[in-house]
Amino acid sequence: MASAPGVLSGKVAIVTGAGGGYGESYSRCLAEVGASVVMSDLHAEHLEAAAARLTADGLDVIATAADVTDRDQVHAMVRAGVDAFGGVDILVNNAGLMAEIPMDIPLAELSLDWWDRVLRVNLTGPFLCIQAVVPEMKKRGAGRIVNQSSGGAFGPSGVYGVSKLGLVSLTVTMAHELARFKITVNAIAPGFTNTEAALRALPAGMESVLDQLAPLKGQGSPEDVHGALLLLTTPAGDWITGQTLNVDGGWVMRI
The mean per-residue pLDDT over the stretch 10-27 comes to 98
**pLDDT reported for residue 238:** 97
Q: Give the confidence band of 67 by pLDDT, cuts at 50, 70, 90.
A: very high
201 pLDDT more than 70 = no
Catalytic residue among 154, 160, 192, 251: 160
Rounded CA gap, 122 and 133, in Å? 17
Q: How far is it, in rounded angstroms, from Cα 119 to Cα 141?
A: 31
User: Could you give the angle at the alpha carbon of 195 between the alpha carbons of 65 and 202, nearest 5°?
Assistant: 120
The answer to whether 138 and 87 are in contact (CB under 8 A) is no
Is 22 one of the catalytic residues?
no
Query: What is the average pLDDT value for the chain, to the nearest integer?
Result: 93
Confidence (pTM): 0.93
% of the chain residues with pLDDT over 90: 80
Mean pLDDT is lowest, of 67-81, 186-200, 224-238, for 186-200
The pLDDT value recorded for residue 207 is: 62
Closest CA to 27 of 41, 10, 40, 15: 15
- 12-247: CATH superfamily: NAD(P)-binding Rossmann-like Domain (3.40.50.720)
Reduced to 3 states (helix: H, G, I; strand: E, B; else coil), residue 21 is helix
pLDDT bucket at 1, cuts 50 / 70 / 90 = very low
For the chain, the distance separating the N- and C-terminal CA atoms, rounded to the nearest angstrom, is: 28
Candidate from 3-12, 22-31, 84-93, 239-248 with smallest mean pLDDT: 3-12
Q: What is the mean pLDDT of residues 127-131?
A: 98
> Which pLDDT score, from 0 to 100, does residue 131 have?
98
Look at residue 146 and tell me whether its pLDDT is greater than 80.
yes
Strands (E), the chain: 12-15, 36-41, 61-65, 90-93, 143-148, 183-190, 244-247
pLDDT for the residue numbered 144: 98
